[in-house]
Structure 1
């Protein structure tokens, strides 16, 4: 699933747990939370044998559906622009 927000102003953090892997995969995705959830559902119901997402840099993350342990979808938030207070 490759749907992206056209404005690029919001991102959702996605944490992917993979069976038999010591660390989770954490990405910022321009896809909406609903798009990520739909991709997970298709992978788990067998419609798709792969769970695939695109991160905010255009890289594709592909995990075999049978190896998914969990997927945590964070809230969409507007990106912060500028410098923080010192």
Structure 2
């Protein structure tokens, strides 16, 4: 699943590909927002960790749970 993270005062968003479901990502962000001066941390599919202070979060866009097929989807 693809997650786009908007960080305040940064012109480009962070794009993270993760194995988590949409519900799991939402739970992680809710937990981070509930802690005073917390951080939102997520691990991508390659094992890299992305950590953003919740005070710097502008937005979080959660992609689709289902993976899309690659290539042309037409029939022959």
Q: When the two structures are superposed, what TM-score results if normalisation uses the length of structure 1? A: 0.73
Q: Distance in 2 between matches of 1:34 and 1:47?
A: 22
Maintained 8 Å contact 2:37/2:55? no
> 2:26 is matched with which residue?
37
TM-score calculated relative to the size of structure 2: 0.82
CA distance in 1, matches of 2:6, 2:20: 18
Indicate the RMSD between aligned Cα atoms, in angstroms.
1.8
Instruction: From the superposition, tell whether residues 48 and 29 of structure 1 become closer, same or farther in structure 2 (CA, over 3 Å).
Output: farther
Contact 2:37 2:53 in 1 (8 A): no
CA distance in 1, matches of 2:37, 2:47: 21
Unaligned runs of 5+ in 1: 1-11
Q: 1:50 to 1:72 in 2, by over 3 A?
A: same
